A = this chain, B = another copy of it.
Amino acid sequence: MQLTVWTYEAPPHVGAMRVATAMKGVHYVLHAPQGDTYADLLFTMIARQKTRPPVTYTTFQARDLGGDTADLFQQAVSDAYERFAPEAMLVGASCTAELIQDDPGGLAEGLALPVPVVPLELPAYQKKENWGAGETFYQIVRRLADRDIRPSPREGRAPRCNILGPCAMGFRHRDDVTEITRLLGLMGIEINLVAPEGASPRDIVSIGNADFNVVLYPEIAQSAAKWLEREFNQPMTTTVPIGHGATTDFLEEVAGLAKTVVPLSLRSEAASRMPWYSTSVDSHYLTGKRVFIFGDGTHVLAAERIAREEMGFDVVGIGTYSRELAKPIRKAAAALGIEPLISDDYLEVEAAIQECQPELVLGTQMERHIAKRLGIGCAVISAPVHVQDFPARYSPVMGFEGANVLFDTLVHPLVMGLEEHLLGMFREDFEFNDTAQPSHLAAHSPAAHMPEPSAISVGAPSNDDGPAWDNDAEKELKKIPFFVRGKARRNTEMFAVEHAITTITVETLYDAKAHYSR
């Protein structure tokens, strides 16, 4: 058992729902009790979709457990087929139904429906949402793709690709697809299909018609794309186009696969505003800000590169809840010389951030809670999604406009450069107390001054078992602006421990400051 306050991923059957809902002409019959119908609101409320997900739940009850749950399931499949007339069906079980072992696949097969029925085995006590989505998409492609359909010879036609990965309830997938489609259009590349989002089973049949696959979200599309590479000889992209540099690299990779060249305008630094905005003197203050990055594997890897190469931050913490992408995250962490955090335990993430005392967190909605509690700024860069992640406006994180969006997103939580200076200069000013927040944020003060949170706390404050601060040193520390005080406290304590100092004085504080200068 794992104690969970927040969970980063839904159970795997929700991943399957995301694929079913993204597609057209698919219906999913899920063997599940009534409570599991909550998942509909993810789509209709959080993502404001206009139609219910194409999912039928058997909603068996305790009294059904005697023995007729299998009949109930078969009846539900028949009824759903009648009512919705899908081109293909998915069948499976949620966590509770998995325990009663009714074999949805076998039961559905027994009905001999005249459409393909894809049985899904998604072990609910082992796997999670993204795996569920990836497995579902893979099973659909494997079952439906027509192996006889291959692209015609390249001469005399435009190169053609599939865009794989975009899905319902995905973090900014809606706008990422628009942005990438636009860029591919400017490259003269045709789109054979986008899947799962918007694709029908019929579309999937002719997936082989493309020259190569663009994999936008490896968590969802990688299994299917690897299978297509193996079985259809379709090569795939490996760069995820998040950030200015990654977008440039992605376009080069695409050009290689498409045997074409990237137009000059898309190779220019003016292709997004990120290069200029980040170079501009107003952004100098961003240099060396200590950031902690946590989220899904794809977005964390991208954010790490952006933070370092495009914002000029210092990445002081990195981690992911995507165990599937632990390997590249470990590699990135090794290059940074830090320990990665591969965990889906919210409490562990909270402890790591508190220990790290970053100036900015790039994370998920969950890290937003943590950062709020610690009085640190946070920008959301990854699922799990929230209603705020489906804005009305165009908000991709991919492509060049995505780089623009990310620049604004990452800068927003920070105190602006000249404000920093004034805050540092006149700490005694009675208006410059710790409740003074970035002036561009409305009516706020940092959580540091809120009543002590009643959360499951991550235990001892940082100096409980470390060196003690004498009075003058504590006072001197308070003269440091709140947005760097955590770092100063941490550095001083580290310095004290290293030098076996048990009582921190004003001198220790300045010795540590000099020691860690820069």
Contacts and interface: CB of A to CB of B under 8 A. Distances in A.
A282 interface: yes
A368 interface: yes
A496 B106 CA distance: 73
Nearest to A377: B442
Given A48-B280, A443-B371, A443-B375, A392 B274 contact: yes
Contact of A442 (B276, B368, B393): B368
A442 B413 contact: yes
Contacts of A393: 273, 395, 401, 404-405, 407-408
A440 interface: yes
Interface in A433-448: 433, 435, 437, 440-447
Contact of A282 (B45, B274, B407, B441): B45
Contacts of A281: 45
A445 B401 CA distance: 32
Contacts of A435: 445, 450-451
A281 B431 CA distance: 41
A176 B404 CA distance: 17
Nearest to A372: B443
Interface in A352-401: 368, 371-372, 375-378, 386-388, 391-395, 401
Contacts of A433: 451
Interface string A417-457: 00000000000001101010100111111110111011000
B372 A442 contact: yes
Contacts of A274: 392
A63 interface: no
A401 B395 CA distance: 11
A277 B282 CA distance: 35
A443 B444 contact: yes
A377 B443 contact: yes
A393 B393 CA distance: 11
A354 to B, nearest CB: 14
Given A273-B392, A392-B408, A451-B435, A378 B282 contact: no
Contact of A445 (B272, B394, B449, B453): B449
B408 A387 contact: no
A358 to B, nearest CB: 13
A50 interface: yes
Contacts of A184: none
Contacts of A388: 440
A72 interface: no
A431 B454 contact: yes
A386 B441 CA distance: 13
B430 A451 contact: yes
A403 B394 CA distance: 11
A277 B392 contact: yes
30 contacts: A48-B276, A48-B280, A48-B282, A273-B392, A273-B393, A277-B392, A368-B440, A368-B442, A371-B443, A372-B443, A375-B443, A376-B443, A378-B443, A391-B404, A392-B404, A392-B405, A392-B408, A393-B404, A393-B405, A393-B407, A393-B408, A394-B404, A431-B453, A435-B451, A443-B447, A444-B445, A445-B445, A445-B447, A445-B449, A445-B450
Interface of A: 45, 48, 50, 272-274, 276-277, 280-282, 368, 371-372, 375-378, 386-388, 391-395, 401, 403-405, 407-408, 413, 416, 430-431, 433, 435, 437, 440-447, 449-451, 453-454
Given A391-B404, A433-B451, 17 more contacts: A48-B276, A48-B277, A50-B276, A273-B392, A282-B387, A368-B442, A372-B443, A372-B444, A375-B443, A378-B442, A388-B440, A394-B394, A430-B451, A431-B453, A437-B444, A445-B447, A445-B450
